Structure 1
Amino acid sequence: MKIKEMFSLARVLSTLLLGLVYVTYVLVGGVVFWKLEGDLGQKDIGNLLLSKNRLFERYTCLNQEGLEEVAKVVQDASKAGLSLKRNSTSDGFWKFTSSAVFAATVVTTIGYGNMSPSTTAGQIFCVFFALFGIPLNLVVLNRVGKYMLAIERSFSNFLEGKTKRRTCTRFFVHLVSYLSGVLLFFVMPMMVFQLQESWTFSQAIYYCFITLSTIGFGDFVADSNPDKTYPQWYSVLMASWIFFGLAWLALLINHCIDILERLNTHFKQTWGGQKPEGKSADADVNNPDPQLEEEDKIKKPPVTE
């Protein structure tokens, strides 16, 4: 694309409009979070101060310095994955299974923050591990995503041969695919987490999305409660869910990106009178499915290089 075309009036206006929508969206989100969580946060602070004063009244031998030392012990125990309720010792966070899950959260950029390497050697290794692991993870997820699209396309072609209706068939296949993904990567894990972690359904579905979108706040982390004994299959199930769930959600997000790009193109045509590059203005009308162009390139599963 030439520089002159990049800085044409229509493109500049559409870019400014897109930036305005983005900033507005973020600011509106900030206002909503402020209103929903701000007052509650102030109440929590007040309750904590009252609890602190009651603690001093109940344990007269405890002063501010002693409270800080106790708080440090609790914080260190939480970071190490140890339970203060038990008299016996436990393995902590750095077991093989939890370490493998941690490695998965590094290369997928989830990064809950509930555990992190504390040794110099571990921190240096984490840098190089992520440096090569993140691109490798993207390549593998992209390959898995193409296989998912290939399976979906094969099923769509089979139905097209039976119904002779391309657009309706592909819309139906997309809908079934997305609903199946929601069931497999959100509903079923939500029920498992509710049983194993004793979370509410809202907390479990929140954790599922925060994990698979790689936001990873770390306020809820599965398989990390030192007061619980988890079955051996739990970590394996979690790692498999994260891997395939990331590939599926990436496809869904790419579909949303396609929709936004099409809206942007529509606005440019409506306001700027600009036609899409490399195709006629009627091309989008004849191709209403934003994933058709990508899917048409997938005639069969990709061959391993």
Structure 2
Amino acid sequence: MHWLTLCILQTIFFVYLLVGGAIFMALEKDHEDEISSNQSARFSQFLTNNTCVTASELSTFATSVIEAYDSGVVATSDTSSTSNWDYGPSVFFSATVVTSIGYGHISPTTTGGQVFFVFYAILGIPLTALILGAVGEKMTKPYKKLEKKQFFPKYPKTETVGKRAIFATLCFVLFSLIPAAIFQAVEDWSYLEAWYYTIVTLTTVGFGDFVPGQNDSDLRVFYMLVTCVWILFGLAWLSMLLSLVGDFFKAQAKKVDNAEDKTKSKADANSNEAHDVPELTEVAV
């Protein structure tokens, strides 16, 4: 890739970041300010209604609740006996580690758990990446066979684009829209929230604002294991899709490079012709 092409791509990338930041700020900042204002009012109202509690005591209590929440424990009077470290949730946590999703709703707090995490992640992440790449490659084989078949020979480019669009849409429905409907039925989420969760998960962004399997259920272990299977195959699909998109962008960048090479070659040829003219004139004289 030429430096000019790389600079253009970097410029587009930084503009993309700046525009994204501006849009997120416009959408989220007012809501954050509103929540902050309401929370301050609730804090003051609580102190007014409970004069036996000081601001320092309330702050200390709130801090302890937040620390417990950061450790995955919702510290309320009706705290459920459900553990985040039962076998099912633990396997689910392991899946979020090796896939680098990292929801952040729970994390190891013991020294042994933190040390084990280091070695587990270092070995598990590349192994998972290798497996996901292999599964994604297997998933592309039916598509590649279909792409070789020409149903409309007169319009090969249009047919190729159409096939890719149809294939991507079918996979998107299979790995995102349908699972979102299932999560909506099982979890206390709206469909939009469930769909948002599937995208946050499969892109490995993993905000942790929505995490499945937090409710106590007899089928919790089975549900978490099935969710792990969906994550693995969904990531393989996304790996395949990103590979196809990456190939497309590489092809476009290669075209730009070729155009630059042709322009440079033409400029060099014109420069050489300009240098040859005086020599011919001198010989003629």
Q: TM-score, normalised by structure 1?
A: 0.77
Q: Within 5 Å, which residues of 2 pair with 1:91-170?
A: 91-156=82-147, 160=149, 163=151, 165=153, 170=160
Q: Counterparts of 2:255 and 2:147 in 1: how far apart (Å)? A: 28
| Contact in 1 for aligned 2:65/2:75 (Cα 8 Å) | no
Select the residue among 42, 51, 65 that pairs with 1:51. Answer: 42
Aligned match of 1:267:
256
Aligned match of 1:282:
none
Instruction: Return 5+ residue gaps in structure 2 as ranges.
Output: 265-285
| Contact in 1 for aligned 2:133/2:240 (Cα 8 Å) | no
Q: How much does 1:215 deviate?
A: 0.8
| Contact in 1 for aligned 2:137/2:240 (Cα 8 Å) | no
Aligned match of 2:242:
253
CA root-mean-square deviation = 2.4
Q: Counterparts of 2:28 and 2:10 in 1: how far apart (Å)? A: 27
- 1:104-125 per-residue CA deviation (whole Å, 9 max, x = no partner) reads 0001000111110001111010
Query: How has the CA–CA distance of structure 1 residues 82 and 174 changed in structure 2, closer, same or farther, with 3 Å as cutoff?
Result: same
Q: Counterparts of 1:230 and 1:208 in 2: how far apart (Å)? A: 24
Q: Within 5 Å, which residues of 2 pair with 1:67-78?
A: 67-78=58-69
Aligned match of 1:175:
165
Q: How much does 1:83 deviate?
A: 5.9
Q: How much does 1:171 deviate?
A: 4.4
* Partner AA of 1:237 in structure 2: V
Query: How has the CA–CA distance of structure 1 residues 204 and 136 changed in structure 2, closer, same or farther, with 3 Å as cutoff?
Result: same
- 1:43-102 per-residue CA deviation (whole Å, 9 max, x = no partner) reads 221111111111111222222232123323432443334462526x51321010000010
| Contact in 1 for aligned 2:72/2:107 (Cα 8 Å) | no
Q: Are 1:193 and 2:161 matched, yes or no?
A: no
How many equivalent residue pairs?
Answer: 260
* Partner AA of 1:198 in structure 2: D
Larger Rg: 2
Aligned match of 1:299:
none
Q: Are 1:240 and 2:232 matched, yes or no?
A: no
- 1:205-242 per-residue CA deviation (whole Å, 9 max, x = no partner) reads 111111101111112212235xx537333112210110
Q: How much does 1:197 deviate?
A: 2.0
Q: Counterparts of 1:20 and 1:85 in 2: how far apart (Å)? A: 53
Structure showing the higher helix proportion among its residues: 2
Instruction: Return 5+ residue gaps in structure 1 as ranges.
Output: 1-5, 276-305
